[in-house]
Structure 1
């Protein structure tokens, strides 16, 4: 059954069956949006969507592997057929490459000894996957009166902070995979923002902070809901909002 005539805004969140993505989807649902739960695993995606529906949200699962072109294409076709447009895209799906360990334990990312296949795998999800999903969804986003794209970045992506030997990132092992992938995502965000500025599509990179999730071995000190708050803030901007920026909870983040 088509929902193309609905007045609800339509939001797609990738990697939304758990963690920050799920928390963002929950909050968007609370705000009255129709939320599409993008998840690689169809069962987990449907479980998350069912939980949101039980809480009163209008939520639907969308099977979506950002590294699989056919999966991305099928997801875009689903949104097209069911809703006819997209108002919000949160590119949240991401991996570190090191598994569920804390950043200080990610010694397999050290540039001089890193496995090149790891670097490729991380970039495939964190950068190329964002390009694939964004491009597939752009025709639908162009139909929105105020479309917003939020790319989930990281404070670790700040080249300025990373280059400071006395800065807050100085205690972390050097990274040739995750950190450069998020820095590349930031650069990509600016390029999309520049291209889409004239179309009124707002594109921003957002760092949710150090959130307690599997991506850091559950060592974060923020809850997923706390981390998701800043994502939701930039996913609900009005037409006069910023574009091409890098933001965190406290405001503008250093590039």
Structure 2
């Protein structure tokens, strides 16, 4: 397994689960997020449970200087796995969202992931090995506001990059879950089960991460955890846009 993995958005949810599972596979960690206290909790758990070295790097990735510090850490050359997980959601009512929030949303999901990937790639390519995992969403396959649009970019970029860089030893995988039991929805002021989403469509973080890491190990460009979501993605490609948009409007 990897010598070291850098994970953004590592203080909770999928990011914290990536930390636990990568550490269990033998990786030392660099955990990145804004909340030092939360990062310290994850770091302490990993050290105690798995005995791995954990570096905490507090950074607001929308701050140019703090983002540059994370890029510099990636260029140091000892990172074998990059997990671009940091993100947040917005209300689907685009016309009501402050445009500055929309721009921050776009920057975090697209520009930040692109910059960190660019920072990590040269050392990985020189070494001839590395894995980049981009946490996207099934929303990236359907017309679903600016969140779906941003994740669609991440999926397309990952598919292209995996074709180009896999022959040189670096795989790029977009992990595309649907609704996951994490605090992502709580930050939107919602609780799981209150969104009109069928219980069978809720996934647990451990499954999403396990399947995502398996797909990355196999060199796959895209991972869609759960056969239910795989069917939904397939259906979205043949149904009219008005049907897909209406169905995708459930939940946030």
Tell me the TM-score normalised to structure 2 length: 0.75
Contact 2:128 2:168 in 1 (8 A): no
The match for 1:219 is: 192
Contact 1:19 1:224 in 2 (8 A): yes
4+ residue runs of structure 1 moved beyond 6 angstroms?
none
Residue 12 of structure 1, aligned match among 6, 10, 16: 6
Q: Per residue, is there more helix in 1 or in 2?
A: 2
Aligned residues: 218
Contact 1:16 1:92 in 2 (8 A): yes
The match for 2:213 is: 232
Residue 146 of structure 1, aligned match among 109, 112, 129: 129
Return closer, same or farther for 1:56/1:113 CA change in 2, 3 Å cut-off.
Answer: closer
Mapping for residues 160-199 of structure 1, pairs under 5 Å:
162=143, 175-199=144-168
Contact 2:74 2:119 in 1 (8 A): no
Query: What's the offset of the Cα at 1:227?
Result: 2.3
Gaps of 5+ in 2: 194-201, 238-252
Gaps of 5+ in 1: 1-6, 98-105, 163-174
Contact 1:32 1:57 in 2 (8 A): no
Tell me the TM-score normalised to structure 1 length: 0.74
The match for 2:224 is: 248
Distance 1:187 1:95 in 2: 20
Tell me: higher relative CO, structure 1 or 2? Use CA pairs within 8 A at least 6 residues apart.
Answer: 1
Mapping for residues 110-149 of structure 1, pairs under 5 Å:
110-149=93-132
The match for 1:61 is: 56
Contact 1:13 1:37 in 2 (8 A): yes
RMSD of aligned residue pairs (Cα, Å): 2.5
The match for 1:50 is: 44
